[in-house]
Amino acid sequence: TREAAPEKTVLKIEAFIQNVSEVILGMSTEVKAFFAAIEGFIFNSNSDNTYKLRMDDKRRHHNAFSNVVGAWETLDEYFEVLANAMQQLASVTGKLSKYDIPRLDDHIHALSAAASYLTQTHQMLDAFVRHPDSNMIYWINNANSLEWMSLQAAPLHVGSMMETYLWQQKESVILTSATLRTAGSFDFLKERLYAEDVEAIALGSPFDYKNSTLVYIPEDMPLPTDNTYQRAVERGIVELAAALNGRVLVLFTSYTQLRETAANISPRLALGNIVVYDQASGGSREALLDSFRSTEKAVLLGTRSFWEGVDIPGEDLSALVIARLPFAVPNDPIFAARSGTYNDAFQQYAVPDAILRFRQGFGRLIRTKTDRGVVTIFDSRVIHKSYGRKFLEALPDCTIQYGSLSDLHIAAKRWLEIDPS
């Protein structure tokens, strides 16, 4: 058996840990001061989007940001002291392997991981405040509540990371997806991924969309900017859900519209014993999907995560409603920063990006060769705007029908071979 560690060594380590604890205590005070400075900066930012406040050069030169820099410089010193202390502690404990110390290897590993995480956090915070990377986008998230906030970063050009970590590391790479093309071309994604020279091929779908999918476009639907638009959306959902006894998934682009819709249609659909599940009421995506599948007559309202990766095959889903074309919010930090890299940001970036998401949303309906259903688009920009046709052209070869909103539920029942009477 191995001998116990000398008492002198144990006492030395305990004293060292005590010193580290005191540093952490002082550091916690400076962390609070740092975020208090950020809070003050937010109040003085005069931004129209304090929920996601992008940190560009203009904001970094704002007078209020100097307080953030000052608070960081103090906190920065604590980071350096603590990082060095953690490394020393890991080094000292590493020399104790000859002694009988329970779970020593676990402790050494935990110390090493903590030191690494601390160093990484220090580097990211310093980049956020003082030394931003030109290929990164920085923003403050959840800033409107101020009860909880986070500092976020994302690459401006994803392609550079793909090049570093994938293209240059592998002899061959295969990318597959049902939604890699816009306007019948791979060019948009190739440019984004720095993959201009790759070979690309579009394979046919195993689904017979022409006979399985009706795309119904209400020609009299108000534009999303019209005051009567929201009422028309609610009416369309209620009539469609009532006709199909539920089995409807509605995709939104904002939580605000989702909440308003859920509040207004739930009482009306409840009269027909149709339950409305909505993402804004809480619960995980999987929990909502399970509830929707297990309820005989239900409607599911979702946004963001429901546009992709959702699988509801068979008769559990009969109709898909796309409330609005999924354009990104113009002042979203990532969208705003990447838009700045294009000459014509709307046509070169906003439209292709929205088309990719639109195709992902469309793909929620037909999941097997025997599926059959109706997709309806409650955004009349697809017929009234010049770019609208690009969204319809991006769809597979479906049966497309134009009509009035009041005839939607009749067309849906007829397509699904339900007695329209």
Mean per-residue pLDDT of the chain: 90
The C-alpha atoms of residue 107 and residue 119 are separated, in whole angstroms, by 18
- Please tell me the number of Cα atoms within 13 Å of 272 on its side-chain side: 19
pLDDT at 276: 98
Which pLDDT score is estimated for 115?
A: 80
DSSP assignment of 294-326? HSSSEEEEEEGGGGSS----GGG--EEEE-S--
Cα Rg, the chain, nearest whole Å: 28
DSSP state of 277: E
Among 1.20.1070.10, 1.10.287.70, 3.40.50.10490, 3.40.50.300, name the CATH number for the domain at 209-415. Answer: 3.40.50.300
C-beta of residue 214 within 8 angstroms of C-beta of residue 418: no
Structure confidence at residue 177 as a pLDDT band (50, 70, 90):
confident
pLDDT reading at 47 higher than 70: no
Question: Which burial class, exposed, middle or buried, applies to 359 when counting CB atoms under 10 A from its CB (0-12, 13-18, 19+)?
Answer: buried
What's the one-letter identity of residue 112?
S
Between 17 and 70, the more confident residue is 70
Q: What is the pLDDT of residues 130-157, one digit of tens each?
A: 999 999 999 998 755 667 889 999 999 9
**How are strands ordered across the β-sheet holding 150-155?**
52-54, 136-141, 150-155
> 420: pLDDT confidence band, cut at 50, 70 and 90?
low
Please tell me the pTM assigned to this model. Answer: 0.83
Question: Which residue reads 């955004």 in tokens?
Answer: 379
Reduced to 3 states (helix: H, G, I; strand: E, B; else coil), residue 34 is helix
In sequence order, the 6+-apart residues with CB closer than 8 A to the CB of 278 are 258, 259, 261, 262, 288, 300, 301, 302
What are the extents of the domains in the chain?
7-155, 158-192, 209-415
Which of 69-83, 88-102, 361-375 shows the lowest per-residue confidence on average (mean pLDDT)?
A: 88-102
User: What are 192-247's pLDDT values in tens digits?
Assistant: 999 988 899 988 788 899 999 999 999 999 999 999 999 999 999 999 999 999 99
The answer on pLDDT for 51 being more than 90 is: no
Share of the chain above pLDDT 90, in %: 62
Residues 6+ apart with CB under 8 A from 331: 48, 49, 52, 54
Residue 68 reports pLDDT greater than 90? yes
* Angstrom distance (rounded) from CA 327 to CA 358: 9
Reported as a single tens digit per residue, the pLDDT across 103-134 is: 777 777 777 788 888 889 999 999 999 999 99
Q: Which residues contact 344 (CB under 8 A, 6 or more apart)?
A: none
Q: How many CB atoms lie within 10 A of CB 260?
A: 16
